[in-house]
């Protein structure tokens, strides 16, 4: 059991690294989809108690929303905006990987500073969650294209969700559903916004938007 949980966590960390080092947008979207599905598996493994309906439906909803609906929406936005690659990110891909190595060490150090009041499935869950949040944040600030920034936002949310998963037994179901709905709305709105930005300005480079004057 411990081996499976650890493998899952390592896979989640690897999806983060792949996201930060890949320039093709469709590959990035796909990797975030994989991350969503892996996240859906986490509550099934992390729960020490026998499987309840609550946990199962939470896992199923996560997989459907994060693994299929969001990637589908983003792929659609990407196609309509007609962008394929992240050109000239603010931080290069090799440099991003090195930064990620530093962030990983920092997250594990930070995870050790946050002792859990109850037993969690693995001591690595908290560091993984912190790392995912940080990678999301890093993707938001280091990439140019709006699609990648939305992906960063999604990954950040994945991290917060993973953090919540360690409490999945304790946390009210309603809160989980509420966050999922919020993120759904956000991705939906951002997809539309990307489309409109692209139609108005013929590009979705977010850094060039601050040159706009009213």
Partner 1 sequence: MNILHPLLNPILALFLAPLLPGIINRTKAIVAGRTGQPLLQLYYDLFRLFQKSAVYSLTVSPIFKAGPLVGLACIVMGLTLVPMGGIPSLFGFAGDLVVLAYLMGLARFFTVAAALDTGSAFEGMGASREVQFSVLAEPALLLGLAAISQVGLIRPLTALPTAIPLESLSEMLARLSMSVWMADGTVLLLTSAALFIVMLAENCRIPVDDPTTHLELTMIHEVMVLDHSGPDFGMILYAAALKLWIFLALLAGLLIPVRTGNFWMDGASILIGMVVIAIGIGVIESINGRLRLIRVPQLLAGALVLSVMALVMVLWG
> 32 near 70, Cβ under 8 Å?
yes
Nearer to partner 1, 8 or 77 (CB): 8
The contacts of residue 104 (CB under 8 Å, 6+ apart) are 13, 127, 131
Task: List the Cα angle 71/72/73 in 5-degree steps.
Answer: 90
> Should residue 119 be labelled a site residue for partner 1 when binding is judged by CB under 8 A?
no
Q: Minimum Å distance from CB 130 to partner 1?
A: 13
Regarding 109 and contact with partner 1 (CB under 8 A), the answer is yes
Q: Does 34 bind partner 1 (CB under 8 A)?
A: no
Which residues, listed in sequence order, are joined to residue 85 by a DSSP beta bridge? 24
Query: Which residues have a Cβ under 8 Å from the Cβ of 214 and sit 6 or more positions away?
Result: none
Asked if residue 13 binds partner 1 (CB under 8 A), the reply is yes
Member of 45, 59, 124, 156 binding partner 1 (CB under 8 A): 124
Q: How far is the CB of 3 from partner 1 (least distance, A)?
A: 6
Under 8 Å between Cβ of 125 and 98: no
Question: Residues touching partner 1: how many (CB under 8 A)?
Answer: 21
Instruction: Using the minimum distance from each CB to partner 1, give the nearer residue, 9 or 133.
Output: 9
Structure tokens at 56: 């199962």
Which residues contact partner 1 (rule: CB under 8 A)?
Answer: 2-3, 6-7, 10, 13, 17, 21, 93-94, 97-98, 100-101, 104-105, 108-109, 112, 123-124
């Amino acid at each position: 059991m411990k081996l499976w949980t650890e493998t899952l966590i390592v896979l989640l960390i690897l999806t983060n690294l792949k996201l930060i080092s890949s320039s093709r947008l469709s590959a990035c979207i796909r990797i975030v989809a994989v991350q969503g599905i892996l996240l859906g598996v986490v509550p099934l493994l992390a729960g020490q108690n026998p499987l309840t309906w609550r946990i199962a439906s939470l896992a199923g909803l996560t997989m459907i929303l994060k693994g299929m609906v969001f990637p589908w929406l983003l792929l659609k936005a990407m196609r309509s905006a007609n962008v394929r690659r992240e050109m000239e990110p603010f931080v290069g891909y090799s440099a991003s990987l090195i930064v990620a190595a530093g962030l990983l060490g920092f997250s594990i150090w930070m995870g050790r500073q946050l002792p859990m009041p109850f037993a969690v499935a693995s001591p690595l869950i908290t560091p993984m969650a912190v790392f995912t949040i940080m990678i999301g944040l890093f993707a938001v600030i280091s990439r140019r294209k709006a699609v990648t920034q939305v992906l960063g936002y999604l990954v950040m949310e994945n991290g917060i969700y993973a953090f919540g998963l360690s409490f999945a037994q304790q946390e009210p179901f309603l809160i989980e559903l509420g966050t999922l709905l919020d993120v759904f709305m956000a991705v939906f709105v951002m997809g539309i916004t990307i489309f409109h930005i692209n139609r108005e300005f013929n590009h979705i480079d977010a850094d060039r938007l601050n040159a706009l004057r009213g």
